[in-house]
Structure 1
Amino acid sequence: MTGLDSLAGLLGPGGTLQQLEPGFQPRAGQLQLAEAVAQVLRHGGVLVAEAGTGVGKTYAYLLPALLSGQRVLLSTATRNLQDQLSTRDLPRLMGWLGLSRRVAVLKGRNSYLCTHRLSQARREGHYLDDAALRQLAQVERWALGTRSGDLAELPELDDASPLIPLVTSTRDNCLGARCAGWQGCHVNEARRLALAAEVVVVNHHLFFADQQLRDTGVAELLPQVQAVIFDEAHRLNEIGVQFMGRQFSTRGWRQLSAALLEEGTRWARGFQPWPELASLMERQVRDFEAWVGAAARRPEARLLWLGASPEGLDPAAWRQRLLGLDALLARAEQALQLTQEAAPELRRLAQRVLETRQRLRGFMDDGQGPAVRWLETGRHTRLLEVPLNIGAKLSDLLKPEVAAPGGGPASGPVSVGGRPPPAWVFTSATLGVDEGLSWFTQPCGLADLATVLRVDSPFDYARQAAWHVPEGLPDAQDPEHAWALSQWLLSPVRLLRGRTLVLATSLRALGELARGLQEGLQGTGIEVLVQGQGSRRRLLERFRQGATGTPCVLVASGAFWEGVDVPGEALQMLVIDKLPFPVPDDPLVLARSAELKAQGRTPFQDYVLPETAMALKQGVGRLIRSEHDRGVLILADERLHQRSYGRRLMAALPAMPCLADQAALMDALAALSSPQAWLTRSSTTDPRPCS
């Protein structure tokens, strides 16, 4: 543990990192965070730390983790950060420090090539179109040389490629030890390395999947460790509730039906009426979807489920429908019991049918504890049940008397067997708006367990950035708002020659903004990149090249609100189409609001506004990524000026001067082309003068 005492010599002025890493800037906040992490690693307990953009939190937790000599689990919200930690940050730091630590990265099944599924895809390649066949050939060539089987090694394979499900496995279709490729299985090898490693890099999905498996007493994915560090911890509750809940989907039903027909015919033709059974299953689920859809009265809907059945559905008829589906699953189960010894595929299929039936029957009872249920219609129908938060589960893991399963340590201040006490660290750039970071600590059950630390961003937002609210646009809730905003943006975008990221709060708005910008910028030489038209990775690579190549604008939603790092001149204007309020009819939003009302609290003040502030904070964090960046934030929602809550939302953001009118905005954008002009302009303004 003596290495933890040398952090100032590593991170401070004139320290090791400043000497070894070009461009490294010592930051007091980074050292403060690193020392706090070292403290909890040394003495045990729970640390919740918000580290503003630019603090350098990655090194601030990696250095103490490596120097501690403890076995550590690092968990992130995204595979991108997993790859960054395992392929860049950890090797670099270990090389500089002369440390030798066994590091392993472990992802979900759909990140690894399955050689059995690959050969199956080749045999059935006549079903694929030409583009998919070309991709399949690329995968086959790569498969001959890869050691890890991690599809991230194939940058040309888009994340959304339809080929990925054909060459990877799922829990449902994995044959386990009965598979001919079991000995060389990439998933098994990744898990073996993780169980033997001293530093294991996972994601939050895998952490909770491991919890799920251990709770059943069946298996484990992750090793027992002495410390767990969650980066991007702001996503923990959102991801955790999905894993702690359950769902039944007609999509899964159809996949099961297709597997019955395919595998039954292949391995037990003539022993059971597979075509008849599959046809009955398809017809039954089609009738079920039609009946539910008629009650929903619109193509895509969420039906609250507060009683015996979802809203608008007769309880007796609802139960009868579920019993009908259950009866068909029972018939499939019986057919497979009689034939499953014919092939491993049939034994695995029998297990799938059993698990599907258990999920369905779980929705035929009265629900489990403080959870919310709902039904979703759309391309498929889904029955869902999730807890309101992960607080109970997480606080149980951290109780001193409980040895935490699933990669977690036994928490508490007492050293075990002479080893350092276990430690938990939760960190992100956005965890709350108050000193207690209650937005994060309360739903995660940490309010009374954690030491809380807030480290402000080192960036000088008052001089590096400014913000503006356009005037005269339709109301933010008006359907015409997105189109009008796209037309308003044409002049600023032309002046900047692209260099603009537009974040939409809905897919409908994204489509309108993209269409308006594409039409308005035709013939200007400015390209409009749109989320969904290429992989996230490729879009960001192209956008980063906009400052030196063909100028461009990127219009995006959802996944681009966080984890996007575009330092330099490629991004100088960030546009947020409107305040990112939670979807009002979202069942979780409604249930959490109802719970607050029952406690005598105000849902809008205590839940809706904090959620909006955190989402806004995440989006705004895309603009300034280094001490040298300069940029303008456009918040295209006049409610910031018109409603009393506007001040509260702006208070959650870094202090920046407000550009009061269109002329001031255009002057500021023009000044971005000259650092000296921008500095002169900044020196005459005060943060938020028009808020």
Structure 2
Amino acid sequence: MSLHDQVAAAFAQDGWLSRAEPHFRPRAGQTEMAMAVAQTIEDGGVLVVEAGTGVGKTFSYLVPALLSGQRVLVSTATKALQDQLYLRDLPRLVQALGLPLRVARLKGRSSYVCLHRLGLVHQSKVPLDPQVLRAVARVQDWSRGTRSGDLAELPGLAENSTVAALVTSTKDNCVGSSCAHWEQCHVNTARAQALQADVCVVNHHLFFADMEVRDSGVAQLLPTAGVVVIDEAHQLNETGIQFAGWVLGTRQLQSYIKDVLADVTLHARGLADWMQLLGQLEHALNEWRAVGAGIAPGSRLRWLGAAPEGVSDKAWRGGLHAVGQSLRALLLVLAKVAETAHALVALYERGARLLSQLASFAQPVPDDAVRWLEVTRLHLRLMESPLTIAHLMRAHMQPQEADDPAPQPSKAWVFTSATLGDDEDLRWFTETCGLRQAQVLRVDSPFDYASQAVLYVPEDIPEPAQQVAHSAAVAQLAGDGAAALGGRTLVLTTTLKALGAIGQQLQQRFGLLEPMDVLVQGQGPKHVLMERFRAGTLHGRGCILVASSTFWEGVDIPGDALQLVVIDKLPFPPPDDPLVEARSRQMEMLGRSPFADYMLPEACMALKQGAGRLIRRETDQGILVVADARLRTKAYGKRLVAALPPMQRIGTQEAWQQALLQLVQGSAPVLSIPASTRNEDDTSKDLG
């Protein structure tokens, strides 16, 4: 039986999935996507699929991939989604399909406890906070029984906690095969399992590490996979840019000085004048850092020429040169000493990488990259990023042979997400990732948005440029909606300034005496905020969540816990961001419009992601508010509305109140609006 026939049988009305999964129901869109994936696996090549919310894209790519008999690599955006695939979706499907497959999950070093680093905590000469020491003791107790070493298994330990940094390793501080715990190393064990598995689940960060860093063992994953699936592919470009770019900060160099001092004191005391060498480097670093003394903290300076804008070329080049010379002098001595003190080899290699990065920033900015300087109160951060990952992806997907100028990929590549573009060709995604020749498929969501939700664009909302008045109006509107619904409201902001203003006003309105909890991003761990919000009404108290950044996507709140999503304004990229400026200049050089071909598609995708938080199941109902009059008044508003799910659109205060009332009464907010209350742009129509 061909793969095509096997997949068709799996998704049939009485097929394998329906017999094994009690809640499985065949969906035309899901089956269409699965058959397209099967065809790509059989033929080889690249498939890009935008699968709307509710399609069930995970089963659509996993079933044909698992049935193919080929080695499969699945990459997704976050560790949380990685865990969901590994712990829930894959075990269910492997069992349902009766396949004896080995499944593994591989994360980066920072996810696994390092037994060597854990043992060093109590040897630190720097006194540690008692609370930190108690947390370390919890990690030690847990480490004696864990098999995976994955810190995500330890309840209550935040991923970015101080303790996590103390008990995990990095490529710089790993001591390698000389480690006493090398045989029991959880990172090595996870890598070995990944290399032996039939299906391996990674995240996008590790996917690019596999492509670019070529770390020991990990680099074998991608070449040996016959099927590569990139889920949540809309995040691929931004993740790839982080890996393909350069970041060098004065904090990194200071940390290196500190580590050199500690290691040479232990392994090479008296073998060189370390204090003089390190003192020269630290002096040069302080002099260079002083170049940014007159620049406001938080500034991001364009860097088009020899030095960042607003910084003296002579002072900048002199400072960079002095740091480079001092670092080189230290490395020359380290190289000689490391011949006998082998423990210093890793320290030398780390310094050599820093020197190489420093040298790259002394060169002119590449044509296809953007460079800028970030200034904080105490440090400088030198940043360089490519504008897209197109060259990187093409190089790894289509390795060119000398006698074959245009080879085709031999393996199957599947890229999928709920939002990949606002046109039929999905150019927003395919161009940035260098996939112009890919087969493209768009599968619409099965949800009936026209009968489940409405889009409210207020008529009398202040312009976003009036920041204070606009944030106040958004807070008032969100508060009114939450008061009527008993909470169930998610407010998504485009800036941290708006986040603070709206959150503060809502918290003032709903004090402790009101039956409402107002949660604000940054005032607690994300998972804690989400757990409270998903709980809905708790002990008679409703819930409002005000959030920005990561809450715009990847947040799944089905059911009545969320019935109102308020987006404060259209999410255009910030025009003063160095990366945005560089991409805009690139568009102009190509004779294209930066606004129409870059900024507007970016806003469409971000708006689509935010709106996607509202309806997550066939039975969900709710109101989406976009508190930005430009959606009604500007010509480009039609393109933005077209990117949204096809909801009924309303604009009057009366229609808003009626929609709220219907939600409160348990019915859908869709209205039958008299002609006298319609907007001039025919807001009562269902828009597609």
TM over 0.5: yes
**Distance (whole Å) between structure 2 residues aligned to residue 680 and residue 674 of structure 1:** 13
- Equivalent residue in structure 1 for 2:563, among 572, 589, 603: 572
1:243: Cα distance to partner?
1.2
1:338: Cα distance to partner?
4.3
Q: TM-score, with normalisation over the residues of structure 1?
A: 0.92
* Residue in structure 2 matched with residue 106 of structure 1 by the alignment: 106
Q: How does 1:221-260 map to 2 (within 5 A)?
A: 222-223=221-222, 224-260=224-260
**Distance (whole Å) between structure 2 residues aligned to residue 275 and residue 40 of structure 1:** 61
* Residue in structure 1 matched with residue 408 of structure 2 by the alignment: 412
- Equivalent residue in structure 2 for 1:497, among 486, 492, 503: 486
* Residue in structure 2 matched with residue 347 of structure 1 by the alignment: 345
After superposition, the C-alpha distances for 1:103-134 in whole angstroms (9 at most, x for unaligned) are: 11111111111111111123339632233222
**Distance (whole Å) between structure 2 residues aligned to residue 309 and residue 250 of structure 1:** 16
Q: TM-score, with normalisation over the residues of structure 2?
A: 0.93
Amino acid aligned to 1:330: R
Cα–Cα, structure 1 residues 680 and 206, in superposed 2: closer, same or farther, change >3 Å? closer
Asked whether the 8 Å contact 2:391–2:434 carries over to 1, the reply is: yes
* Deviates most, 623-632 or 156-165: 156-165
SS in 1 for 2:649: coil
Asked whether the 8 Å contact 1:462–1:682 carries over to 2, the reply is: no
SS in 2 for 1:383: strand
* Residue in structure 2 matched with residue 37 of structure 1 by the alignment: 37
Asked whether the 8 Å contact 1:655–1:688 carries over to 2, the reply is: no
1:293: Cα distance to partner?
3.9
**Distance (whole Å) between structure 1 residues aligned to residue 4 and residue 100 of structure 2:** 16
Cα–Cα, structure 1 residues 518 and 286, in superposed 2: closer, same or farther, change >3 Å? farther
Amino acid aligned to 1:630: Q
After superposition, the C-alpha distances for 1:20-67 in whole angstroms (9 at most, x for unaligned) are: 334333210000000000000011111011000110000100000101
Cα–Cα, structure 1 residues 345 and 626, in superposed 2: closer, same or farther, change >3 Å? farther
Q: How does 1:235-634 map to 2 (within 5 A)?
A: 235-275=235-275, 277-294=277-294, 297-340=295-338, 345-379=343-377, 380-399=379-398, 412=408, 421-447=410-436, 449-480=437-468, 481-522=470-511, 523-547=513-537, 549=539, 550-634=541-625
Asked whether the 8 Å contact 2:456–2:625 carries over to 1, the reply is: yes
Amino acid aligned to 2:518: V
1:252: Cα distance to partner?
0.9
After superposition, the C-alpha distances for 1:232-282 in whole angstroms (9 at most, x for unaligned) are: 111111111221122211121121122122222233334444455445444
* Deviates most, 277-286 or 541-550: 277-286
1:138: Cα distance to partner?
1.6
**Distance (whole Å) between structure 1 residues aligned to residue 19 and residue 90 of structure 2:** 18
SS in 1 for 2:145: coil
1:371: Cα distance to partner?
1.5
Amino acid aligned to 1:133: L
Asked whether the 8 Å contact 1:29–1:456 carries over to 2, the reply is: yes
Asked whether the 8 Å contact 2:288–2:316 carries over to 1, the reply is: no
* Deviates most, 677-686 or 182-191: 677-686
1:98: Cα distance to partner?
1.1
Amino acid aligned to 2:414: V
Q: Mind listing any 5+ residue stretches in structure 1 that lack a counterpart? A: 404-409, 414-420
**Distance (whole Å) between structure 1 residues aligned to residue 520 and residue 125 of structure 2:** 31
* Deviates most, 72-81 or 470-479: 470-479
Asked whether the 8 Å contact 1:656–1:688 carries over to 2, the reply is: no
1:664: Cα distance to partner?
2.0
1:612: Cα distance to partner?
0.5
Asked whether the 8 Å contact 2:191–2:218 carries over to 1, the reply is: no
Amino acid aligned to 2:464: A
Cα–Cα, structure 1 residues 621 and 268, in superposed 2: closer, same or farther, change >3 Å? same
Q: How does 1:12-23 map to 2 (within 5 A)?
A: 12-23=12-23
Asked whether the 8 Å contact 1:464–1:629 carries over to 2, the reply is: yes
Cα–Cα, structure 1 residues 411 and 632, in superposed 2: closer, same or farther, change >3 Å? farther
Amino acid aligned to 1:168: T
Asked whether the 8 Å contact 1:247–1:384 carries over to 2, the reply is: yes
Amino acid aligned to 2:486: R
* Residue in structure 2 matched with residue 154 of structure 1 by the alignment: 154
Q: Mind listing any 5+ residue stretches in structure 2 that lack a counterpart? A: none
* Residue in structure 2 matched with residue 669 of structure 1 by the alignment: 660
Amino acid aligned to 1:393: L
SS in 2 for 1:131: helix
SS in 2 for 1:145: coil
1:160: Cα distance to partner?
2.3
1:497: Cα distance to partner?
1.2
Amino acid aligned to 1:535: P
- Equivalent residue in structure 2 for 1:638, among 625, 629, 637: 629
**Distance (whole Å) between structure 1 residues aligned to residue 60 and residue 257 of structure 2:** 50
**Distance (whole Å) between structure 1 residues aligned to residue 133 and residue 460 of structure 2:** 51
Cα–Cα, structure 1 residues 631 and 344, in superposed 2: closer, same or farther, change >3 Å? farther
Q: How does 1:160-199 map to 2 (within 5 A)?
A: 160-199=160-199
SS in 2 for 1:579: coil
SS in 2 for 1:101: coil
Asked whether the 8 Å contact 1:463–1:682 carries over to 2, the reply is: no
Asked whether the 8 Å contact 1:430–1:617 carries over to 2, the reply is: yes
Cα–Cα, structure 1 residues 391 and 562, in superposed 2: closer, same or farther, change >3 Å? same
**Distance (whole Å) between structure 1 residues aligned to residue 13 and residue 127 of structure 2:** 61
Superposed CA RMSD in Å reads 2.5
Amino acid aligned to 1:641: R
Amino acid aligned to 1:624: I
1:333: Cα distance to partner?
1.3
**Distance (whole Å) between structure 2 residues aligned to residue 130 and residue 335 of structure 1:** 39
SS in 2 for 1:482: helix
Amino acid aligned to 1:648: R
Cα–Cα, structure 1 residues 126 and 261, in superposed 2: closer, same or farther, change >3 Å? closer
After superposition, the C-alpha distances for 1:515-536 in whole angstroms (9 at most, x for unaligned) are: 1111111121211122223322
Asked whether the 8 Å contact 2:648–2:685 carries over to 1, the reply is: yes
Number of residue pairs matched?
673
Asked whether the 8 Å contact 1:660–1:690 carries over to 2, the reply is: no
Amino acid aligned to 2:597: D
Asked whether the 8 Å contact 1:191–1:222 carries over to 2, the reply is: no
Amino acid aligned to 1:425: V
Cα–Cα, structure 1 residues 122 and 400, in superposed 2: closer, same or farther, change >3 Å? closer
Cα–Cα, structure 1 residues 327 and 497, in superposed 2: closer, same or farther, change >3 Å? same
Asked whether the 8 Å contact 1:468–1:660 carries over to 2, the reply is: yes
SS in 2 for 1:127: coil
